[in-house]
């Protein structure tokens, strides 16, 4: 993401809030662990304390290693969840930020799988999540071989990452967070709907967005780049023949908003001001 250009310092999300937003599960994640090939995570989210929950195939190297550890191996595996936040609007240079969640990986106990699957389904309504909590283990029937029964019954499993440290890098800067600071923060209230809102603004309100540019900014096409409860990021694009390069601009709200009603009120005021 290009460096922000703005004329004043404005209130915005803290580094911990931004990290919790990236970890919510909308942004793509890759799991990295010693001796295991990089593994894209098909779906991930967090529990209420920010602990990442990762949906992986039961036969994947990382899940197999956790289920069948070497005799001298630790019960938990050090791992990093690498998250890339990509803007939903098709633009050059779409990566808005990155986060690295370092910690210890383990497979969830059977008793926690159903609740974790339900939480994952809120961000990722995938059919394989319906299979969790429907087998003999959840009905109180104890199989002779729990590992074999789970492997036969489920193609997928859910891993948990106990966070030990978080790093984040985005347009606001870079920061390293302790697990307590990360856990105490909350994700942005619009993280699950940001993509739809930005897509609507890009398709239906480009003229109004252009009218939001300060007078000091050269006129040009404006595309929505990001949204949070404190404001918006806009991308002033540039044609190849233009002298002025493309850049990103922060548009702060007058006050933070916490729900869609408040967001609609903010947009109405902004667009009324932008309309000649």
pLDDT at 30 over 80: yes
DSSP 187-235: --TTTTTHHHHHHHHHHH-HHHHHTTS-TTSPP--EEEEEEETTEEEEE
Which element (helix H / strand E) includes 184?
A: helix 179-184
144 or 227: which leads in pLDDT:
227
Q: Are residues 177 and 259 in the same domain?
A: no
Token pair belonging to 162: 């106990």
The CATH number linked to 239 is: 3.20.180.10
pLDDT, tens digit, 9 for 90 and up, residues 128-142: 888 786 654 444 444
* Domains: count for the chain: 2
Best CA proximity match to 58, nearest among 162, 150, 161: 150
Phi, psi of 75 (to 5 degrees): -65, -30
Token pair belonging to 231: 């404001």
Strand-strand pairing, 36-41 and 95-107: unpaired
- Return the ∠ at Cα 172 (arms to 103 and 189), rounded to 5°: 70
Residue 84, in any domain of the structure: yes
The CATH number linked to 117 is: 2.30.110.10
Q: Are residues 206 and 156 in the same domain?
A: no
194, 201 Cβ separation under 8 angstroms: no
Q: Which residue has the tokens 């098709």?
A: 90
Q: Are residues 108 and 173 in the same domain?
A: yes
Q: Are residues 217 and 175 in the same domain?
A: no
Average pLDDT, integer, range 242-265: 88
Q: Are residues 166 and 208 in the same domain?
A: no
pLDDT at 150 over 60: no
Average pLDDT, integer, range 3-17: 64
Q: Are residues 175 and 211 in the same domain?
A: no
Q: What is the pLDDT of residue 3?
A: 44
Best CA proximity match to 205, nearest among 146, 274, 137: 274
Confidence of residue 66 (pLDDT cuts 50, 70, 90): confident
- Rounded Cα–Cα distance for residues 155 and 150 (Å): 9
Q: Where are the beta strands (DSSP E) in the chain?
A: 28-33, 36-41, 43-46, 52-57, 77-86, 95-107, 156-170, 173-177, 222-228, 231-236, 247-252
Q: Are residues 145 and 23 in the same domain?
A: yes
Average pLDDT, integer, range 109-132: 90
212 or 6: which leads in pLDDT:
212
Q: Are residues 171 and 207 in the same domain?
A: no
pLDDT at 143 over 50: no
* Residue at which a domain ends, from 135, 153, 184: 184
pLDDT, tens digit, 9 for 90 and up, residues 192-248: 999 999 999 999 998 889 888 887 777 778 999 999 999 999 998 876 666 567 889
**CB atoms inside a 10 Å sphere around CB 160:** 21
Q: What is the pLDDT of residue 148?
A: 44
Q: Which residues pair with 33 in a beta bridge?
A: 36
pLDDT at 99 over 90: yes
By CB neighbour count within 10 A (0-12 exposed, 13-18 middle, 19+ buried), where does 218 fall? exposed
Host domain of residue 241: 194-274
The 3-state DSSP class for residue 69 equals coil
pLDDT at 123 over 50: yes
Q: Are residues 135 and 210 in the same domain?
A: no
Q: Are residues 20 and 123 in the same domain?
A: yes
Q: What is the pLDDT of residue 88?
A: 95
In Å, how far from its chain's centre is CA 24? 5
């Amino acid at each position: 993401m290009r460096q922000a250009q703005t004329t004043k310092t404005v209130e915005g999300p803290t580094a911990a809030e931004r990290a919790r937003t990236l970890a919510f599960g909308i942004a793509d994640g890759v799991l990295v662990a010693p001796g295991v090939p990089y593994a894209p995570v098909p779906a991930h989210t967090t529990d209420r304390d920010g602990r990442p929950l990762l949906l992986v195939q039961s036969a994947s190297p990382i899940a197999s290693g956790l289920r069948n550890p070497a005799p001298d191996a630790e019960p938990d595996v050090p791992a990093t969840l690498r998250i890339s936040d990509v803007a939903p609007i098709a633009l050059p240079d779409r990566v808005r930020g990155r986060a690295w969640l370092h910690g210890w990986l383990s497979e969830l106990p059977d008793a926690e799988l159903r609740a974790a699957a339900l939480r994952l389904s809120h961000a990722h309504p995938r059919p394989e999540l319906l299979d969790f909590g429907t087998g003999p283990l959840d009905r109180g029937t104890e199989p002779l071989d729990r590992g074999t029964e789970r492997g036969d019954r489920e193609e997928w499993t859910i891993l948990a990452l106990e966070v030990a440290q978080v790093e984040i890098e985005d347009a606001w800067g870079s920061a390293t967070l302790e697990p307590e600071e990360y856990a105490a923060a909350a994700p942005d209230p619009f993280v699950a709907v940001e993509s739809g809102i930005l897509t609507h603004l890009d398709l239906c309100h480009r003229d109004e967005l252009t009218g939001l540019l300060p007078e000091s900014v050269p006129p040009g096409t404006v595309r929505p780049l990001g949204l949070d409860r404190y404001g918006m990021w806009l991308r002033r694009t540039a044609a190849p023949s233009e002298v002025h390069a493309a850049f990103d601009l922060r548009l702060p709200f007058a006050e933070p908003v916490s729900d869609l009603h408040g967001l609609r009120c903010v947009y109405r005021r902004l667009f009324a001001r932008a309309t000649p």
